[in-house]
Amino acid sequence: MPVYKDNKTNTWRAVFRYTEWTGEKRQTQKRGFVTQRAAKAWEREEMLKLQGACNVTFDSFVELYFESLGTKLKLNTINTKRHIFESKILPYFADKKINEIKATDIINWQNM
């Protein structure tokens, strides 16, 4: 998918087109990337999220989890869960892909 440079702000913008499960075509974009590589990485992560693949990063999976909690829990509960994830779990697992996390990784994390 295309990545564009905005010469006015000297940043990159990624545009991503996809088809929803209902068959409707949509387009999304994100602006403000410092590098072209970062814009393309965001685009790849978005593609993997929409495909429902197990090779997304743990960080992306946590984002999807919190998006789904928006209407189910109170704001204070969501903030508490977010704090626990950000302070205790994500520093260790953020860049690992879901399908690469093994039981030994979890045991090592618990023993830290």
Q: Could you tell me the pTM of the whole model?
A: 0.54
What local confidence, expressed as pLDDT, does residue 63 receive? 84
Mean pLDDT (the chain) is 86
What local confidence, expressed as pLDDT, does residue 52 receive? 66
Within its chain, how far is the Cα of 69 from the centroid?
15
Please name which of 74, 70, 48 lies closest in space to residue 59, comparing C-alpha atoms: 48
Residue-wise pLDDT tens digits, 20-38: 767 888 888 899 999 999 9
Range of the domain at 109: 54-112
Query: In the listed set 30, 53, 76, which residue is the last one of a domain according to the structure?
Result: 53
Residues 49 and 62 in one domain: no
Gap between the Cα atoms of 79 and 29, Å rounded: 26
Residues 86 and 70 in one domain: yes
Residues 59 and 37 in one domain: no
**Residues with pLDDT less than 50, the chain:** none
What local confidence, expressed as pLDDT, does residue 59 receive? 86
Residues 22 and 75 in one domain: no
What's the Cα-to-Cα distance from 105 to each of 4, 54, 82, 90, rounded to whole Å?
Answer: 38, 17, 21, 13
What local confidence, expressed as pLDDT, does residue 53 receive? 60
Give the number of domains in the chain.
Answer: 2
Residues 60 and 111 in one domain: yes
Gap between the Cα atoms of 3 and 10, Å rounded: 13
Secondary structure of residue 38 in the 3-state scheme: helix
